[in-house]
Amino acid sequence: MKQNKHKSKNLSIGSRIAIATATAIVVALAIIAILSSFFRFFTPSFYNFSSVTTNNYSLLNQIQWSQTMMNITDQLASDNSESAKQQILRDITKDFEKLDTNIYIEKNGQHYFSNIGKNDIFAQAQKICKTDLDNSINYYGDNGLVIVNKLEARNDQYKIIVSNSKYTVKPTAENNRSQGIIRLIFSKLGFVIGMIILIFILSIIIMSLITSKTITKPISLLAKGANEIASGNLDYKIDYDSTNEVGTTVTAMNDMTSKLKESIDQRNKIDKSRKEMVAGLAHDLRTPLTSVKGYVEGIRDGIAKTPEKQAEYIDIIYSSTLDMEKLLDDLMSISRLELGNIQLNLEKTNLISFIDEYTEELLPQLEQKGVKLQITKPEEQNVFVMLDTDRFSRVLNNIVSNSLKYSKKEAKTNIELSIQNYEKSVIISIEDNGIGIESENLSNIFDTFYRADTARTKAREGSGIGLAVCKEIVNLHGGTIWANSTIGEGTTILISLETLKEEQ
C-alpha cells in the first residue's frame, strides 16, 4: 500500500494530466449513463408523458400518445383478469375521452372495449385519413387523429382504433413558443448539447481537483523552500521524495542549497584563516623587528664593544631582516599573483637539464640539514617545456621547504624528486616521509592562507601562502598541481606540464 503510494508519487506530470483527463471523461460518461436511465424511466411520469393532455400536435403530445398506446397494449397483453383489464382500460381512456377522443378495441374480430360504436368510429376514422384501417396507422393531421394498432398476445388478435376529429397539427401562438423550448430540451441535439456542457464542467472540476492535489502541492512546497533559502536558512531541506519532474527539481534545489552552504562555510573558513594569518604575520614581523631594534641599540650604545661582538650582532640583525624579507616576499607575491599582475618570462627549456642544475644547487643545503634527496629521471634526456625558470624554482623551493617544515621529528627526512615523461605531458613529483595531511584538508592546501594544522600560529612555521603561490605559478604555466598524502606517512606534491616536441 505504502509502496503503491510511493509509486504514484513518482508519476510524471504528463501522466497525471492524462489520468486526470481520463478520469474526468470516465466520470462524465458514468453520469451520462445514470442520467439517461433516469431520463428513460422517470421522466415520462414526471412530465406526464403517459396521459394525453391536448388536442394539438407537438413532440410532447406525440410522446404522450405513444406512451398511452403502449399502456393499452401492455394491459391487453397482461395476465390480469378480464374485469381488471376493462377497469384499467377505462382509467387509461378517461383522460383522452375528455378531449373527445374515441376508442374501439376488437379481440379476435369481436367487440372487446369501446366508447363508441364500430360503424361510427370506422366512418369517422376513414373520413379523417381516407384508408381502410386494415393496417397499423399513426395519423396526426390537420383534420384529426387516427391511430390503428394491431397486437397479438396469448394467441389472441387485438385491433385498437383511436380517432379524434377535433385534433389538429396547426400550432397555436402560445403553444408555439413553449413547444420550441420543450422541443429543444427533448430533441436529440438538446440532449447532446446538455451532456457536452455537463462533461465539460465535470472535467474542469475533476481536473482541477486532481491537479491541485498532485501538482500544486509539491510546487507550493518548492516555493516555501525557495523562500526559506532566500531568507538565509540554508539548513532547510524540501521534503518531497519523488523521481518525477517536480521531484528532480526539488533534489536539484536541495543540492544547490547544500553546495551554497558548503561554499559559504568554506569562504568563512578562509576568511577566518586570513584574519588569523594577518594577526600572525603582524606578530611575527614584530619579533625580528624587535630583535633588529635591540641589537642596533646594543651597537649604538656601545654594548657590543669588541669587533667580534659587533660582527655577531650584525649577523643576528641580518638574519632577522632575512626573516622579515621572506614574510613580505610571500605576501607580495601572492597579492601580485592574485591581482594577475605577473607576466611570466617563458622560454623553451629542457626540464631534465633544469632539474639537474636545480638539484645541484639544492643538494649541499639539504646535506647540511641531514636530508636525503633521491632523484629519478626518465631515460629520455630531452623533455622540453615552456618555463619561467626563476618562478618555477620558487615553486620547487616552496614544496621542498614544506617537506622540511612538516617532517617527522623522530625520523630522518627523505625527499624523492621524480620526473615521469608521457606522450604529451610530464609529471614532476616531490615525495616526502613527513607528517602527512588529513584527507579532508587535501583539497584546500592550495588555497591562500590555508593551513592544515591550525594549531601552528607562528607565521614562520607556516603562513599558508607557499602552496597558493605554487598553484598560481603552475596555472600560469598552463599546468596543474595536486597532492596525495597519507597521514603519518608522507606527502607527494605533483605538477603536470605540457611538453613540446623538439622542433616546436
Contacting positions for ligand ADP (CB under 6 A): 398, 402-403, 405-406, 432, 434-437, 445, 450-453, 462-468, 491
DSSP 214: I
Q: Which is nearer to ligand ADP, 295 or 449 (CB)?
A: 449
Q: Which is nearer to ligand ADP, 97 or 276 (CB)?
A: 276
Shortest distance in whole angstroms from residue 274 CB to ligand ADP: 13
Give the separation between CA 502 and CA 162, rounded to whole angstroms. Answer: 121
172's grid cell: 397555436
CB 490 within 8 A of CB 433: yes
Shortest distance in whole angstroms from residue 385 CB to ligand ADP: 23
Give the separation between CA 261 and CA 109, rounded to whole angstroms. Answer: 103
Q: Which is nearer to ligand ADP, 58 or 463 (CB)?
A: 463
- Give the H or E element holding residue 198: helix 188-211
Shortest distance in whole angstroms from residue 397 CB to ligand ADP: 11
Q: Strands 372-376, 414-421: parallel, antiparallel or unpaired by DSSP?
A: parallel
Shortest distance in whole angstroms from residue 277 CB to ligand ADP: 9
CB 420 within 8 A of CB 484: no
* Residue 68 CB-density burial (10 A; 0-12 exposed, 13-18 middle, 19+ buried): buried
Q: Which is nearer to ligand ADP, 57 or 406 (CB)?
A: 406
- Tell me the HSE value of 242 on the side-chain side, using a 13 A CA sphere: 26
Shortest distance in whole angstroms from residue 332 CB to ligand ADP: 15
| Residue 137, C-beta contacts closer than 8 angstroms, at least 6 positions apart | 129, 131, 146, 147, 148
Shortest distance in whole angstroms from residue 474 CB to ligand ADP: 13
Give the separation between CA 57 and CA 24, rounded to whole angstroms. Answer: 41
Q: Which is nearer to ligand ADP, 453 or 502 (CB)?
A: 453
CA nearest to 263, candidates 228, 234, 230: 234
Q: Which is nearer to ligand ADP, 111 or 283 (CB)?
A: 283
Q: Which is nearer to ligand ADP, 193 or 279 (CB)?
A: 279
Q: Which is nearer to ligand ADP, 218 or 434 (CB)?
A: 434
Q: What are the C-alpha distances in Å from 207 to residues 31, 89, 204?
A: 16, 53, 5
Q: Which is nearer to ligand ADP, 158 or 406 (CB)?
A: 406
- Give the H or E element holding residue 121: helix 118-129
- Give the H or E element holding residue 351: helix 351-368
Cα-Cα-Cα-Cα torsion 36, 41, 42, 43, nearest 10 degrees, comes to 70
* Residue 285 CB-density burial (10 A; 0-12 exposed, 13-18 middle, 19+ buried): middle
Shortest distance in whole angstroms from residue 442 CB to ligand ADP: 9
Shortest distance in whole angstroms from residue 349 CB to ligand ADP: 24
131's grid cell: 384508408
221's grid cell: 512546497
Q: Which is nearer to ligand ADP, 355 or 445 (CB)?
A: 445
Report phi then psi at 146, rounded to 5: -135, 125
Q: Which is nearer to ligand ADP, 315 or 461 (CB)?
A: 461
Shortest distance in whole angstroms from residue 359 CB to ligand ADP: 18
* Residue, CB closest to ligand ADP: 462
Angle (nearest 5°) at CA 171 between 169 and 174: 150
Q: Which is nearer to ligand ADP, 114 or 441 (CB)?
A: 441
Shortest distance in whole angstroms from residue 371 CB to ligand ADP: 13
Shortest distance in whole angstroms from residue 255 CB to ligand ADP: 29
Report phi then psi at 189, rounded to 5: -60, -45
At 82 the three-state DSSP class reads helix
Shortest distance in whole angstroms from residue 448 CB to ligand ADP: 8
- Tell me the HSE value of 433 on the side-chain side, using a 13 A CA sphere: 12
